[in-house]
Homo-oligomer: A and B are copies of this chain.
Amino acid sequence: MGVIERREREKERKRNTMLDAAESILMDRGLEHLSMDDVAEKAEVSKGSLYLYFQNKNDLVLGICYRATHLLNESFRSVLNSNGSGLSLVRELGKTYLHYVKNHPQYYSSMKFLDNLHSTREGTESEYLQLCTQNRQEGFRLMVEAIQRGMDDGSIKQELPAEQLALLFWSTSHGVVTISYMHQNYEHFKLLDRIGMKEEDMFDAYMHILSHGFAQEPKES
């Protein structure tokens, strides 16, 4: 009779309302000031209700993180849909990641939260954790795809399997993006200023080094 289905839809809707409330608080106060009481108030439900829809605070934050990873993947996908050499696609992916962190620092902070989540806690598993992991895998897959295209069109060396190169690109760009995030969000982080490097230049330099290496090659092979 469709009652159960309607209930299910309704439940999903309410869960999203709660996530909206949480997200709104995250956006203007940051993760470290996100309390369940505040979320309940903002969502105009009781605290107990929150716990009907989310296992615990982690679960709720991972709900936001799911949105965060999803949005990043959307951007990645649109890059993959554009034209250009594989190498240039890879570069665009990196730029996209960088822009993402600049434009959605709080989303990014929720992804850092995911990174810091310690090993599968006391039995109870968050469903959102699975979804986030899937999103991550999808994002990684897109990088592999860009690199594979580069290998096919001859713009990227084929010394390593595409997956392994993707891992290196992902991890190193993660590092560069981290610097950028700190530069933008932590007043006490002065490294870029100290060495007189503009943020915009950092990424170009990064791509340049990654593309051509920093080792001085002996004359010629």
Binding site for B on A (CB under 8 A): 30, 32, 87, 112, 115-120, 129, 133, 140, 154-157, 159-161, 163-176, 178-179, 182, 185-188, 191-192, 195-197, 201-202, 205-206, 208-217
Q: A115-B182, A164-B205, A209-B168 are in contact. Are A216 and B154 (CB under 8 A)?
A: yes
| Total copies of the chain | 2
Q: A175-B178, A188-B129, A214-B210 are in contact. Are A197 and B167 (CB under 8 A)?
A: yes
When distances are taken between beta carbons in the complex, the residues of chain B under 8 Å from A133 are 188
Which listed residue, B155, B156, B188, B213, touches A210 by the CB 8 Å rule?
B213
Smallest CB separation, A30 vs chain B (Å):
7
When distances are taken between beta carbons in the complex, the residues of chain B under 8 Å from A205 are 160, 164-165, 168
Report the separation of the CA atoms of residues A197 and B161 in the bound assembly, to the nearest whole angstrom: 10
Report the separation of the CA atoms of residues A168 and B204 in the bound assembly, to the nearest whole angstrom: 11
When distances are taken between beta carbons in the complex, the residues of chain B under 8 Å from A215 are 87, 155-157, 211-212
Smallest CB separation, A131 vs chain B (Å):
13
Is A167's CB under 8 angstroms from B179's CB?
yes
When distances are taken between beta carbons in the complex, the residues of chain B under 8 Å from A172 are 171-172, 175-176, 206, 210
Task: Please name 10 pairs of A and B residues whose Cβ atoms are closer than 8 Å in the assembled complex, sorted by A.
Answer: A87-B215, A115-B182, A119-B185, A155-B216, A157-B216, A166-B195, A167-B179, A167-B195, A175-B176, A211-B215
Report the separation of the CA atoms of residues A172 and B210 in the bound assembly, to the nearest whole angstrom: 10
8 pairs of A and B residues whose beta carbons are closest in the complex: A175-B175, A211-B215, A213-B213, A172-B172, A163-B195, A212-B213, A171-B175, A174-B175
Q: A156-B214, A209-B213, A216-B155 are in contact. Are A178 and B168 (CB under 8 A)?
A: no
